[in-house]
Amino acid sequence: MEALVLDVPKRTATVKTLPIPSPSPTQLLVRTHFVALNPVDALYVSHPLAPKSQTRIVGSDFAGTVQQLGSSIPASARESLKIGTHVAGFLQGACSVNERPGAFAKFIVVDWDLVWRVPGWMGLESAAGVSLCALTAAQGLFARLGVEAPFEWDSRNTDNERGVSEVKDNTHGKNGDPLKVFIYGASTSLGQYAAQLVRIAAHASGREAVLFGAASPARHAMLKVPPYSYNGLVDYREANWVEKLLEVQNGEGVQYAFDCISEGDSVRNVIKTVAPGGKMAVFRSREGKAWAAEPGELPFEPVYGAVWEGLGVEVQYQGFTVPASASAREFAVNFYGFLSSMTEEDGPLVLRPNLVRLMPGGLERIVPDGFALLGPGSMDNRDTSRSEAYMRPISAEKLVYQVLKQ
């Protein structure tokens, strides 16, 4: 099969021919139809973590069809995951020191319970961009900030591990009070899923959601209507956006803040929007722990974590180790079960995929085109100089490549 393989010495990736992998007894063999790009894919190709000797398939998000089931997959799951079933998920790829294959290949193997079944109304090209970002948003809102989730999981299952274990009882805003949230980077993929999950969670618990965001004014019209329906938006490029946001809120802060960028001064600014007793989620960004500050500089320490926790394996990257976490994996399994159960009839409880930009060229063009658009570092490093229509700057959409020719 063809696969996009990391070249550590040259800090790039090239398409190579590799054997088709065989699933373990608890895995599926999936034929990949589409893959979606995330900033971490480009980052860890340009700044590889793997030793020079490793042959590592890169990439995270995928969608495809089940080709083979491992012998130990429970009978209760075999019918819903029969051959030909449309599924989506994500793999770690080159995003750690650990040697694990990624998703940018014609065939992949994945744990049977870490995929979700793509509903018939959602195309595989759209589903390809859901898994990593939507799980990141769910982890931030439910497992770390403590917002009541719209699906079953045991939030008390905290085995002193990073991420999910950081959940603490959070009574701020309970008893039917509105769920008041601010999202910085509202038009990013992560921000779009976070806003929808806020709305879904509030609807499921019978609460009102009051949602504020910071984004480019070019995306305000999109963000003011369903499925996002922001109550107030500010332009993140204005120097006084914090003051404007607080003015919109009548001087009050929010219960929860969600920083989708976590680069530069974003954390220091976003934390100013949080009311006393509130909480804030940040994420390991392309600048590492960008919110590191002198003691006492921030009013409280933001809650952070890494999406890779959901794979339930030890992850080494960016100079630290994420321990294998059974509870984080259980959360991911339950969240993907929630996605699998979605129907169009669920209306306000349906998570809608990001807008897709279907890029030309398949695996061969991911590095020269897709990674150039994503940039090798911060958002300021993105290449927007080319004239092709598909190379326009990224805004509120996922870059998706077709792997299987129809």
Contacts of 362 (CB under 8 A, 6+ apart): 401, 402, 403, 405
At residue 285, the pLDDT reads 58
Contacts of 125 (CB under 8 A, 6+ apart): 33, 34, 63, 356, 358, 400, 402
**Cα dist from 391 to 46, 232, 283, whole Å:** 19, 31, 27
- Do 146 and 166 reside in the same domain of the chain? yes
- Do 261 and 272 reside in the same domain of the chain? yes
| Coil/strand/helix, residue 401 | strand
In whole angstroms, give the CA distance from residue 402 to residue 35. 7
Contacts of 184 (CB under 8 A, 6+ apart): 191, 213, 214, 236, 257, 258, 259, 260, 261, 266, 269, 270
Q: What string of pLDDT tens digits covers the 406 residues of the chain?
A: 999 999 999 999 999 999 999 999 999 999 999 999 999 999 999 989 888 777 899 999 999 999 999 999 999 999 999 999 999 999 998 888 898 899 999 999 999 999 999 999 999 999 999 999 999 999 999 999 999 999 988 776 544 343 433 444 344 445 568 999 999 999 999 999 999 999 999 999 999 999 999 999 999 999 999 999 999 999 999 999 999 999 888 788 999 999 998 887 888 899 999 999 999 999 865 555 655 666 677 888 888 888 999 999 998 887 778 899 999 999 999 999 999 999 888 888 899 999 999 999 999 999 999 999 998 866 667 777 889 999 999 989 999 999 997 6
User: Which among 322, 339, 369 is the end of a domain?
Assistant: 322
Count structural domains, the chain: 2
**Does pTM top 0.95 for this prediction?**
no
- Do 171 and 262 reside in the same domain of the chain? yes
- Do 82 and 180 reside in the same domain of the chain? no
Assign residue 219 the CATH number of its domain: 3.40.50.720
In whole angstroms, give the CA distance from residue 367 to residue 350. 33
- Do 193 and 250 reside in the same domain of the chain? yes
| Coil/strand/helix, residue 258 | strand
Spacing of C-alpha 378 from chain mean position: 17
Q: Is residue 344 part of a domain?
A: no
Q: Is residue 341 part of a domain?
A: no
Q: What is the CA radius of gyration of the chain?
A: 20
- Do 177 and 258 reside in the same domain of the chain? yes
Q: Domain range for residue 280?
A: 133-322
- Do 122 and 138 reside in the same domain of the chain? no
- Do 206 and 274 reside in the same domain of the chain? yes
Whether the bond into 150 is cis, omega within 30 of 0: no
- Do 30 and 116 reside in the same domain of the chain? yes
Q: Is residue 345 part of a domain?
A: no
Q: Is residue 171 part of a domain?
A: yes
Assign residue 88 the CATH number of its domain: 3.90.180.10
- Do 117 and 143 reside in the same domain of the chain? no
Q: Is residue 277 part of a domain?
A: yes
